[in-house]
């Protein structure tokens, strides 16, 4: 229910409002919330290296939400930026709750493939009523060109799920979550390849560099 269903809805809306770089950086603050939950709920330990690395991974958010650092445009720049940032932050919070529930489930039944399948199935059950309600206001349509990209994105997301669950079953949430949220690094690299989607600013590049430094600390933790 929390992720990917509801978290994905808010993430896609934040993409529309503030662009790939900003939405990705803010939504990938998940490690902070996951660490705050994992220590009291799961009894995991947070070393200073993992903590410092997590902070570095998400430090780019301060740069990403600055006006002029992304594609939000007037006249609704400030309002769109605030709304998009809050939606992306909501994505991070819901994803962190979902990670806790997944880890608890895997402790009870350590089958990563089944865990991934049940998570995706649960999301479909949650989204079905939402899609039905939206359909009453008007059919949900997509162009043929957009379907190709959206389906490709869905396949990549599925691959990520299949890789994430074995990692979660083998490692602690406070380590697996930061590493799985290094998405900004790859997002920036892809934006250089797909420049027609969004321009890469200095703020974005610095944020990605901070995330890379955080990954190195996490590996050492």
- The range of the structural domain enclosing residue 33 comes to 2-220
Number of domains in the chain: 1
Tell me, what's the pLDDT at 87?
A: 94
Dihedral angle computed from the Cα positions of residues 183, 168, 100 and 19, in that order, rounded to the nearest 10 degrees? 10
Tens digits of residue pLDDT in 96-122: 999 889 888 988 988 888 888 888 899
User: Is there a contact between 142 and 188 (Cβ–Cβ < 8 Å)?
Assistant: no
- What is the rounded average pLDDT of the residues 5-15? 92
Q: Taking 70 as the threshold, does the pLDDT of residue 71 lie above it?
A: no
Q: Is the distance from CB of 25 to CB of 84 less than 8 angstroms?
A: no
User: Of 30 and 46, which is predicted with more confidence?
Assistant: 30
pLDDT of residue 74: 44
Give phi and psi for 87, each to the nearest 5. Answer: -65, -40
The 10s digit of each residue's pLDDT in 139-168 is: 778 888 888 988 998 899 888 888 888 888
Structure tokens at 100: 């806790």
The answer to whether 94 touches 29, Cβ cutoff 8 Å, is: no
Q: 88-98 as b/e, with b when 16 or more CB fall inside 10 Å? A: bbbbbbbbbbb
Higher pLDDT, 173 or 16: 16
The structure tokens listed for 76 are 């609704």
- Tell whether the model's pLDDT for residue 50 goes beyond 80: no
Q: DSSP label at 166? A: H
Residue 175 pLDDT greater than 50, yes or no = yes
pLDDT band for position 75 (50/70/90)? Answer: very low
DSSP codes joined into one string, 77-134: HHHHHHHHHHHHHHHHHHHHHHHHHHHHHHHHS--HHHHHHHHHHHHHHHHHHHHHHH
pLDDT at 90: 94
pLDDT number for residue 93: 92
Reported as a single tens digit per residue, the pLDDT across 25-45 is: 888 888 778 877 877 887 877
């Amino acid at each position: 229910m929390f992720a990917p269903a509801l978290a994905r809805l808010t993430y896609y809306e934040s993409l529309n409002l503030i662009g790939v770089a900003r939405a990705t950086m803010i939504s990938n603050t998940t490690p902070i919330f996951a660490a705050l939950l994992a220590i009291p709920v799961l009894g995991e330990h947070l070393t200073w290296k993992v903590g410092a690395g997590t902070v570095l991974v998400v430090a780019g958010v301060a740069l990403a939400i600055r006006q002029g650092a992304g594609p939000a445009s007037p006249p609704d720049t400030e309002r769109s930026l605030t709304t998009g940032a809050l939606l992306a932050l909501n994505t991070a919070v819901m994803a962190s709750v979902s990670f806790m529930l997944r880890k608890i489930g895997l402790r009870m039944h350590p089958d990563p493939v089944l865990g991934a399948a049940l998570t995706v199935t649960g999301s479909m059950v949650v989204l079905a009523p939402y899609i039905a309600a939206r359909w009453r206001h008007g059919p949900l349509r997509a162009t043929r060109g957009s379907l190709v990209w959206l389906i490709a994105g869905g396949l990549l997301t599925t691959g990520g799920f299949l890789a994430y669950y074995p990692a979660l079953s083998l490692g602690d949430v406070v380590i697996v979550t930061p590493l799985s949220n290094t998405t900004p690094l790859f997002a920036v690299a892809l934006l250089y390849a797909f420049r027609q989607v969004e321009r890469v600013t200095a703020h974005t590049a610095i944020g990605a560099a901070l995330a890379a430094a955080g990954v190195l600390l996490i590996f050492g933790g």
